[in-house]
Amino acid sequence: MTTETAGDTGGATATTGTTGVAEVAGVTGITAITPAAGTAVPLAAPVIAASAVTVAPAGTTGLAGRAALALDAACEHLLGLQSPEGWWKGELQTNVTMDAEDLLLREFLGIRTEEDTAAAARWIRSEQRGDGTWATFHDGPGDLSTTVEAYTALRLAGEPPDAAHMRAAAGFVRDMGGVEEARVFTRIWLALFGRWPWERLPALPPEMIFLPPWFPLNVYDWACWARQTVVPLTVVAAHRPVRPLPFDLDELRTGRRPGGWPRPGWEAAFAALDRVLRRYERRPVPGLRRAALRRAAEWIVARQETDGSWGGIQPPWVYSLIALHLQGYHLDHPVMRKGVEGIDRFTIREAGTRRLEACQSPVWDTVLAVNGLLDAGLSGDHPALLRAADWVLAEEIRGPGDWSVRRPDLPPGGWAFEFDNDGYPDIDDTAEAVLALRRVRHPGVRPAVDRAVRWMTGMASRDGGYGAFDADNTQVLCTKLPFCDFGAVIDPPSADVTAHVAEALAHEAPGSPALRRAVVWLLRAQEADGSWFGRWGVNHVYGTGAVVPALVAAGVRPDGPRIRRAVAWLERHQNADGGWGEDLRSYTDPAWIGRGASTPSQTAWALLALLAAGERSPAVDRGVAWLADNQRPDGTWDEQYFTGTGFPGDFSINYHLYRLVFPVSALGRYLRRERRTGGEAPP
């Protein structure tokens, strides 16, 4: 997700830092070079011609030759995946809770069909492991809540509880404490069908919609994905609906009450508050409750996207449909009809199965593909890149959204992650779009890039770092509520997002206060072992792979102690086969940090950092060789392991295009370095 400092192609020039060593305020012993605006340097010749993907003649030997042939095949494959409209989109794979909850949603709304049920059940069953469980990521441990939801969906599809695979699943659930120990979201689904008592769920009064933005625990204190989920859930919890299933789930129970005594401090305080709210829920103020439900429904409707979704993601989508249905919106109402029909766009039907994407990532995938192809040497005026720029420019968000609550005077700009999500542009996509568009020779790029840089700069948090969707979304009180036992519910600055912004600003606003503050934030965020934590990718390999190129682009010396410590960390964690990998369990178990089976995306992230740091070491050669040796005949790579992150430790993603776009970037930069220096790595 990075680009070189001198990243343009085709004989253009770029600015780079050359002078002005300055002390980085507040970071002892660290110096940085402030990029000098307007310093022109010649750039390397493109590796790939504008009209063809050809990086090396047949018969080229040595590691550079093998890398060139691998890059040639990968670029050809990537170009072949572009849509006629100009975008790229790989599958965004998560876990079977998406499919189980879709069946439960359809059951609740009365629209479930036998055909959809059978196809979804076949997919859910295919993902069950040998021990009877379902995991949230490939080769991960069995997950209690995921197994409960998958089991319930299979019962809905008619699977008998005495079948061997169902008995194995139920046994695992009981061994893990039963449905009593499942997460709150799972127990809400069970409550909708009378299989869990509403009074044993945390209170969620809809009156919270009236809290002003300055008041603690107002809806804008939550991350955008959480607020869009919580608001409809307050409506659902107020109605407490029950649509009984034709079976019980007694085989998943242990009879124990969930949880124990709350720990002293905030946990105990919020447990006491929950008890107060429960008493209020038994006898709410009628007029206030009606007004709150009406306001919440209006809030939900106002945030529906043109494709029928809410935020382009599954959780607020399904709960919003249920909430509006309970508020009297019939299935033929335009909002409901558009919402239900829109789910089909997120549905993949294949080999008699049916599965859902939790989200779709066309803007993200497209700007990463453009950056990769440019790194590989494709000319900035190549027709594929011009088509991509046309599409990306048309996706620019020019209106306000929830982010405006914290930044009311900031003019809009930037891009979202999905096809249709005009209310929630995100800073990460915007930074990567800036890095891509600035190198494409398209006449409409400059105004959009300027608007994006202005918006992105204005979205800095008070500490100089950047979250994904909002500024200063750091209210930790939200995380203490009894309701919040699953996933991240706030959006504080992270190293990977801040790094992408810093890299974009290094090119578009060198020497700016925003860039300087972002660099300081990143330097302070470095872990004691030399790595950086990865919020949106797995994990320290991702964070380090993003931060090192950004710091170098911003002017931090590659031979400085911070970069050297990061390089040493990466080299220590290289696998024996030459690749890099990190297991998702590193979010919850430090023993897994930097450890895991080698993957193409994580190997590429490590190489991007090492190349940015100027490394000419065996570690680089072995990493490049791993990519060349593990490429498939069709030019791409296999990657079963999940390397994307939704909620650290709770919700994981396999971006199917990561396995291709990041190796293209890494191989392209490696070959550019080899050609620029005249070097040739050993075979």
588-616 per-position pLDDT tens digit: 999 999 999 999 999 999 999 999 999 99
Which pLDDT does position 263 carry in this prediction?
A: 62
Q: Same structural domain for residues 254 and 379? A: no
pTM here is 0.90
Q: Same structural domain for residues 367 and 334? A: no
Which pLDDT does position 256 carry in this prediction?
A: 82
Residue 33 has pLDDT above 70, yes or no: no
- Tell me, yes or no, whether 7 lies in a domain: no
Residue 482 has pLDDT above 90, yes or no: no
Residue 153 has pLDDT above 60, yes or no: yes
- Tell me, yes or no, whether 478 lies in a domain: no
Residue 114 has pLDDT above 50, yes or no: yes
Q: For residue 679, name the pLDDT band (cuts at 50, 70, 90).
A: low
Which pLDDT does position 7 carry in this prediction?
A: 35
Which pLDDT does position 556 carry in this prediction?
A: 97
- Tell me, yes or no, whether 374 lies in a domain: yes
Which pLDDT does position 192 carry in this prediction?
A: 98
Q: Measuring CA to CA, which residue among 373, 334, 328, 266 is closest to residue 46?
A: 373
Which pLDDT does position 634 carry in this prediction?
A: 96
Residue 434 has pLDDT above 50, yes or no: yes
- Tell me, yes or no, whether 499 lies in a domain: yes
- Tell me, yes or no, whether 397 lies in a domain: yes
Q: Same structural domain for residues 79 and 197? A: no
Residues with Cβ within 8 Å of residue 533, at least 6 apart in sequence? 494, 495, 525, 527, 539, 540, 543
What is the number of structural domains in the chain? 2
Q: Which residues of 608-637 are buried (b: 16+ CB within 10 A; e: fewer)?
A: bbbbbbebeeebbbbbbbbbbebbeeebbb
Q: Same structural domain for residues 109 and 176? A: yes
Lowest mean pLDDT among 50-59, 313-322, 385-394: 50-59
Q: Same structural domain for residues 347 and 372? A: no
Better pLDDT: 13 or 138? 138
Better pLDDT: 53 or 280? 280
- Tell me, yes or no, whether 3 lies in a domain: no
Q: Same structural domain for residues 66 and 103? A: no
Q: Same structural domain for residues 315 and 435? A: no
End-to-end CA distance of the chain: 28
Does an H or E element contain 652, and which? strand 651-655
The CATH number of whichever domain residue 71 belongs to comes to 1.50.10.20
Which pLDDT does position 645 carry in this prediction?
A: 96
Q: For residue 14, name the pLDDT band (cuts at 50, 70, 90).
A: very low
Q: For residue 463, name the pLDDT band (cuts at 50, 70, 90).
A: very high
Q: Same structural domain for residues 53 and 143? A: no
Q: Same structural domain for residues 338 and 403? A: no
Best-predicted range by mean pLDDT (217-221, 516-520, 671-675): 516-520
The 10s digit of each residue's pLDDT in 360-386 is 999 999 999 999 999 999 999 999 999
Which pLDDT does position 24 carry in this prediction?
A: 41
The 3-state DSSP class for residue 31 equals strand
Sign of CA dihedral 158, 163, 166, 171: positive
Which pLDDT does position 487 carry in this prediction?
A: 73
Lowest mean pLDDT among 120-124, 154-158, 252-256, 517-521: 252-256
The 10s digit of each residue's pLDDT in 251-306 is 999 988 765 555 676 667 767 777 887 888 888 999 999 999 999 999 999 999 99
Which pLDDT does position 276 carry in this prediction?
A: 81
Token pair of 486, please? 């699953």
Q: Same structural domain for residues 302 and 401? A: no
Half-sphere exposure of 674 (CA within 13 A, CB side): 24
The 10s digit of each residue's pLDDT in 627-649 is 999 999 999 999 999 999 999 99
- Tell me, yes or no, whether 667 lies in a domain: yes
The mean pLDDT value for 323-346 works out to 97
Work out the burial of residue 501: count CB atoms within 10 Å of its CB; fewer than 13 is exposed, 13-18 middle, 19 or more buried. Answer: buried
**pLDDT over 70, % of the chain:** 89
Q: Same structural domain for residues 291 and 426? A: no
Which residues does the annotation mark as catalytic? Answer: 428
Mean pLDDT over each residue of the chain, to the nearest integer: 89
Q: Measuring CA to CA, which residue among 97, 93, 95 is closest to residue 150?
A: 97
The mean pLDDT value for 19-28 works out to 34
Site of tokens 């949880």: 259
- Tell me, yes or no, whether 154 lies in a domain: yes
The mean pLDDT value for 576-591 works out to 97
Which pLDDT does position 485 carry in this prediction?
A: 76
Residue 496 has pLDDT above 50, yes or no: yes
Which pLDDT does position 282 carry in this prediction?
A: 84
Token pair of 262, please? 């709350």
Which pLDDT does position 677 carry in this prediction?
A: 79
Residue that terminates a domain, selected from 312, 340, 356: 356
Which pLDDT does position 10 carry in this prediction?
A: 31
The mean pLDDT value for 433-447 works out to 97
Q: For residue 2, name the pLDDT band (cuts at 50, 70, 90).
A: very low
The 10s digit of each residue's pLDDT in 515-559 is 999 999 999 999 999 999 999 999 999 999 999 999 999 999 999
In angstroms, rounded to a whole number, what is the distance separating the alpha carbons of residues 603 and 597? 10
Q: Same structural domain for residues 378 and 352? A: no
Give the structural domain span for 290: 95-356
Residue 512 has phi, psi (to 5 degrees) of: -75, 155
Which pLDDT does position 235 carry in this prediction?
A: 97
Which pLDDT does position 260 carry in this prediction?
A: 57
Task: Identify each DSSP E strand in 50-196 by its residue range.
Answer: 92-93
Residue that terminates a domain, selected from 304, 333, 356: 356
Residue that terminates a domain, selected from 356, 371, 395: 356
The 10s digit of each residue's pLDDT in 168-179 is 999 999 999 999
Residue 43 has pLDDT above 90, yes or no: no
